Amino acid sequence: MTSPPTRIVQCAEEHLPAIAELAGVIWRACYPGIISSEQIEYMLARMYAPEVLLEEVRSQGIRLDLLLVEGKPAGFASYGPATEAGVMKLHKLYLSPELQGRGLGSRLLQHVERQVGRLGTHRLILSVNKRNARAIAAYRRNGFVVAKSVVTDIGGGFVMDDYIMAKDVPGDLSR
């Protein structure tokens, strides 16, 4: 089976509604059984509305990259500085459910690793729900390890019960 043509581009403002829509499709397909439908809708409104994404890009130094498959939005990643020097945080990495299991998520993750390595970052961290076994396995396959366990109150009566996973990234520009 040949892979469809893909490319990863830095998000422009006009891509934000498509990312918000894609997030809704992905979350509603992948998170039932991990978190409640009420929490899914709460988090989508709080984290993926186009105006929220725009604010992250404009004011928080977060970069948002879009994976295009055959020219159509199929996944995205957002990442930016963490509180510790030399560390970046992967805030979001999602792929359309019908494309999962084909290596495209790993390709997007490796793209992020190259980008943060070029910025002089030595470590990439991320949060993943402890019950999201599929994502945890994918991150482990890509060299991430569990660094700690956290529970974060996100308001609305909801918490995020996550692992913080980490990976050292080389700063080699030739990667």
pLDDT at 2: 57
As a whole number of angstroms, the distance between CA 75 and CA 110 comes to 14
Of 121, 124, 127, 125, the closest CA to residue 85 belongs to 121
5 versus 96: the higher-pLDDT residue is: 96
pLDDT, tens digit, 9 for 90 and up, residues 27-52:
999 999 999 999 999 999 999 999 99
pLDDT at 42: 96
- What's the gap between Cα 123 and its chain centre? 16
Whether pLDDT at 174 is above 80: no
pLDDT at 1: 52
Which tokens belong to 72?
A: 């159509």
Which tokens belong to 33?
A: 């059984």
pTM of the model: 0.90
Domains present along the chain, CATH in parentheses? 6-168 (3.40.630.30)
Whether pLDDT at 89 is above 90: yes
Residue 123 has a CB neighbour count (10 Å cut-off) of 16
pLDDT at 101: 85
Which tokens belong to 145?
A: 């390890």
Q: pLDDT band at 85, cuts 50/70/90? A: confident
DSSP-H helix ranges across 3-102:
16-30, 37-47, 50-59
Whether pLDDT at 173 is above 50: no
Q: What integer is the mean pLDDT of 127-131?
A: 96
Kindly report the CA angle at 162 between 160 and 165, in degrees rounded to 5?
Answer: 145
Q: pLDDT band at 172, cuts 50/70/90? A: low
Q: What integer is the mean pLDDT of 141-164?
A: 95
Note every long-range contact of 32-40, with CB atoms under 8 Å and residues 24 or more positions apart, other chains counting: 33/131, 34/129, 34/131, 34/132, 35/129, 35/131, 35/158, 38/158, 39/156, 39/158
